[in-house]
């Protein structure tokens, strides 16, 4: 039996503590219009969130997280800058029988602020670290920075088309890796692609489409022809330069204490100059974290941390883990500047936030004491 009373009390207490640190308490609907969330997260969210049908409003979703409704509220007319705290249940379907709850409480904090993003990153991390430490738990933090990876991809000496393909899959590590292997020449061109290219060079796209049979569907001849031509061009694109590809592979697997990671990144920056601005931001963040009392000599950094498909983080990412690897992170968060642009209909504001799984925290604290 889950101790829902204890879980709710823990969650509310965490949010109250955030408000004592300067945050404004906000609420969000539990029943949310599904369309925005589906468009943002895609089909994966349908597998993980509870959907229901409202006779008037159409498809609705039980709140899968607070970030989207809080961002929407803020974009609709919040103060600038703003710090918000919240507490309440979120709902996630579990496809396997087990003890992971499908309804659990999250307490969180979000900072919307245009200047000094590294200071905001550090503040969110430090606040969560502090409140977790007050519970007497030795949780293992992990940090990362998706912005460095994105900068490295943008700086590659290859076509925009290839860079876009890599950026689009940055949250799908396997797919990203497969693309990188292909673009760098480490993996041969698949036979199916070779055959497709052979056929595409047999005639003009218009002729080939006409020969293929009756035309159906909304995807137009022009769209098909454009991609056919792009495929032929892409096949003529030379592979990434070997040293540049090697640096990217090295970056993907970088795991080190933060200051050592910084030294490593400074070492490769002359060969991958596009990452320099994001490495500068990484350093500024470490300095801000140090000023907040975090030991950045030992703080773990993993360049690939936070690259999972349901997320929208595009900068600093972090999580806090219990000893048992089967447990989900006790807390997690990150920077999501691009999300506010998507939800802001033309407006955007840099934002960073994090959540604590209150029930898990209460359980671990109970076991500990």
Partner 1 sequence: MIKIGVPSKGRLMEKTFDWFGARGVTLRLSGAEREYAGQVDGIDGVELVLLSAGEIPRELAAGRIHLGVTGSDLVREKLADWPSQVAELAPLGFGHADLIIAVPVAWIDVDTVDDLDAAAAAFRRTHGFRLRIATKYHRLVRDFLTTHGVADYQLVDSQGATEGTVKNLTAEAIADITSSGETLRANHLKILSDALIHSSQAVLFLSHRADWPAEDRAALAQLADKLGVDLPATAPQV
73-81, 104-112, 195-203, 315-323 -> range binding partner 1 (CB under 8 A): 195-203
CA distance 24 to 109: 9
Candidate list 133, 226, 242, 271; residue touching partner 1; CB under 8 A: 226
Looking at beta carbons only, is 246 or 252 nearer to partner 1? 252
Structure tokens at 191: 């036979």
Does 96 bind partner 1 (CB under 8 A)? Our answer is: yes
Q: Does residue 304 come out as left (phi exceeding 0), alpha (psi in the -120 to 50 range) or beta?
A: alpha
Q: Which is closer to partner 1, CB of 226 or CB of 242?
A: 226
Cα–Cα distance measured from residue 82 to residue 24, given in angstroms and rounded to the nearest whole number: 8
- Does 160 count as an annotated binding residue? no
Q: Would you give the distance in Å from CA 295 to the centre of its chain?
A: 25
Measured from the CB atom, is 174 or 369 closer to partner 1? 174
Closest to partner 1 by CB, 174 or 236: 174
| Cβ at position 220, least distance to partner 1 in Å | 8
Q: Mark residues 160-189: x for contact with partner 1 by CB under 8 A, - for none.
A: -----x--xx--x-xx--x-----------
Interhelix angle for 160-168 vs 221-235, to 10°?
Answer: 110
306-325 positions binding partner 1, by CB under 8 A: 309
- Closer CB to partner 1, residue 202 or residue 369? 202
Residues 35-54 that bind partner 1 (CB under 8 A): 38-39, 42-44, 46-47
**For residue 341, what are the CA distances in angstroms to 40, 168, 194, 337, 348?**
12, 16, 39, 7, 4
The minimum distance between CB 176 and partner 1, in angstroms, equals 8
Q: Which residue has the tokens 């070997």?
A: 242
Q: Is residue 326 close enough to count as binding partner 1 by CB under 8 A?
A: no
Question: Nearest 10 degrees: CA dihedral of 155, 156, 160, 165?
Answer: -110
Q: How far is the CB of 329 from partner 1 (least distance, A)?
A: 21
Write the DSSP string, 144-203.
Answer: EEHHHHHHHHHTSSS-HHHHHHHHHTTT-HHHHHHHHHHHTTSSPPPHHHHHHHHHHTTS
Q: Give the whole-angstrom CA distance, residue 361 versus residue 113.
A: 28
- Per CB under 8 A, which region of 214-222, 255-263, 311-319, 349-357 contacts partner 1? 214-222
The residue written with tokens 């498809």 in the block is 59
Largest CA distance in the chain: 75
Q: How far apart are CA 156 and CA 163, in angstroms?
A: 7
Contact between 345 and partner 1 (CB under 8 A)? no
Q: DSSP string covering 209-243, please?
A: HHHH-S--SSS-HHHHHHHHHHHHHHHTSPPPPHH
Q: Taking CB under 8 A as the rule, does residue 97 contact partner 1?
A: yes
Note whether 233 binds partner 1 by CB under 8 A: no
Is residue 91 part of an annotated ligand binding site? no
Q: Closest distance between partner 1 and the C-beta of residue 264, in Å?
A: 28
Residues making up the annotated binding site are 65-67, 92, 106, 110, 307, 312-313
| List of residues contacting partner 1 (CB under 8 A) | 38-39, 42-44, 46-47, 95-97, 165, 168-169, 172, 174-175, 178, 190, 192-193, 195-196, 199-200, 205, 208-209, 212-219, 221, 223-224, 226-228, 231, 309
Residues making up the annotated binding site for L-histidine are 65-67, 92, 106, 110, 307, 312-313
């Amino acid at each position: 039996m889950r101790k829902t009373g204890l879980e709710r009390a823990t969650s509310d207490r965490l949010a109250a503590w955030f408000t004592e640190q300067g945050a404004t308490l906000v609420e969000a609907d539990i029943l949310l219009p599904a369309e925005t969330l589906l468009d943002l997260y895609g089909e994966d969210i349908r597998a993980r969130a509870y959907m229901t049908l409202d006779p008037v409003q159409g498809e609705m979703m039980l709140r899968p997280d607070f970030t989207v409704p809080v961002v929407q509220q803020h974009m609709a007319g919040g103060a600038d800058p703003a710090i918000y705290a919240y507490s309440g249940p979120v709902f996630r379907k579990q496809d396997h029988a087990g003890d992971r709850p499908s309804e659990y409480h999250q307490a969180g904090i979000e900072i919307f602020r245009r200047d000094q993003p590294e200071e905001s990153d550090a503040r969110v991390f430090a606040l969560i670290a502090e409140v977790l430490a007050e519970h007497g738990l030795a949780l293992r933090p992990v940090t990362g920075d998706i912005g460095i990876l994105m900068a490295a991809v943008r700086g590659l000496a290859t076509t925009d088309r290839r860079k876009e393909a890599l950026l689009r899959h940055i949250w799908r590590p396997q797919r990203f890796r497969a693309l990188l292997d292909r673009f760098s020449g480490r993996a041969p061109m698949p036979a199916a692609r070779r055959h497709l290219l052979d056929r595409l060079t047999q005639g003009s796209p218009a002729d080939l489409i006409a020969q293929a049979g009756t035309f159906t569907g909304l995807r137009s001849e022009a769209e098909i022809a454009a991609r056919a031509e792009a495929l032929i061009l892409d096949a003529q694109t030379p592979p990434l330069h070997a040293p540049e590809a090697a640096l990217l592979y090295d970056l993907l697997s970088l795991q080190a204490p933060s200051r050592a990671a910084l030294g490593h990144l400074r070492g490769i920056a002359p060969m991958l100059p596009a990452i320099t601005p994001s490495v500068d931001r990484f350093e500024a963040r470490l300095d801000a974290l140090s000023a907040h009392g975090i030991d950045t000599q030992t703080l773990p950094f993993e360049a690939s941390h936070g690259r999972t498909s349901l997320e929208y983080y595009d900068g600093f990412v972090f999580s806090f883990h219990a000893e048992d690897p089967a447990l989900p992170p006790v807390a997690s968060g990150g920077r999501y500047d691009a999300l506010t642009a998507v939800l802001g209909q033309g407006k955007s504001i840099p934002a960073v936030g994090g959540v604590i799984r209150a029930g898990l925290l209460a359980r671990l604290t109970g076991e500990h004491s």
